[in-house]
Structure 1
């Protein structure tokens, strides 16, 4: 099953994703997309590492996420990606066209993915429209990616204050 978990910063989405990955009761591969560019981000990464079970395999994939997912499709492992917004940021900092190509590649890979996949991402579209062009490009493209992934995923959950709200479930898609 493909799951998309969305929420704001510190909304409990990563914890929820980890709980769901554990509940599937298969080996887990955790794909981290963060790039530790400063001390504060290094602290955030350390916190996430301490929260994960030690037996999980971890792959750090700041750029080539669609390729990594393609290689893991059908592996029998539960794949947890945390998080798509950091990955999109990494792509956008290279170039807008790189980000847009990455989004197309991600949609194709998730559509074809065989097995259990949990995608975590920040919902960034509930605030004001940013003043800067780069920020607007990020917000717009993140929203577009979320919409496409929500169409594909069998389950979509919004995490608010640590409370999961199912937006789409298997029953709603006739499974």
Structure 2
């Protein structure tokens, strides 16, 4: 089945675009959430995202083992919306996981999935150079991950100011 990579900056409309594409597919939607509510602000963000999805959606939490969640929930009659890749990368970094191996596993899971897989990610490399080593490492890891997932997916779309631009 095809796969779609959706990338954009903060508040670009990428999640809304990806959700609309999932709903328009006519397949049974599953939301694979990578966020973790470590503080009140993140709890509010998660609740807002949940409120934007109707009863058709089932949610799967996968803050660390995203490849397994994709493999376990993919089906020919289902669309998986993964939101988002950069939060997953943050979780991996905090857990001190091996990034390259995790990305290899994710690429294999997406490529081998039955049904449609939509990956959402943040473009974090178009701003200023971060002033600390951890933030620079995150920016670099996200850039490499975005390149790898855009290459794996059949289609890639950049969303800017709510407008989609097909890249691939």
**Structure 1 unpaired stretches of 5+:** 169-175
RMSD of Structure 2 on Structure 1 (CA): 1.2
Q: In the alignment, what sits opposite 2:80? A: 79
Q: In the alignment, what sits opposite 2:54? A: 53
Query: What CA deviation, in whole Å up to 9, does each residue of 1:70-129 have, x standing for no partner?
Result: 11233521100010111110010111x433322221122122222201000101110122
**Structure 2 unpaired stretches of 5+:** none
Deviates more, 1:70-79 or 1:110-119: 70-79
Q: Counterparts of 1:73 and 1:54 in 2: how far apart (Å)?
A: 19
Q: Counterparts of 1:42 and 1:61 in 2: how far apart (Å)?
A: 16
Q: Which runs of 4+ in 1 moved over 4 A?
A: none
Q: Counterparts of 1:84 and 1:150 in 2: how far apart (Å)?
A: 12
Q: Counterparts of 1:12 and 1:93 in 2: how far apart (Å)?
A: 27
Q: In the alignment, what sits opposite 1:171? A: none
Q: In the alignment, what sits opposite 2:126? A: 126
Q: In the alignment, what sits opposite 1:116? A: 116
Q: In the alignment, what sits opposite 1:37? A: 38
> How high is the TM-score relative to the length of structure 1?
0.91
Q: How many residues align?
A: 167
Deviates more, 1:125-134 or 1:63-72: 125-134
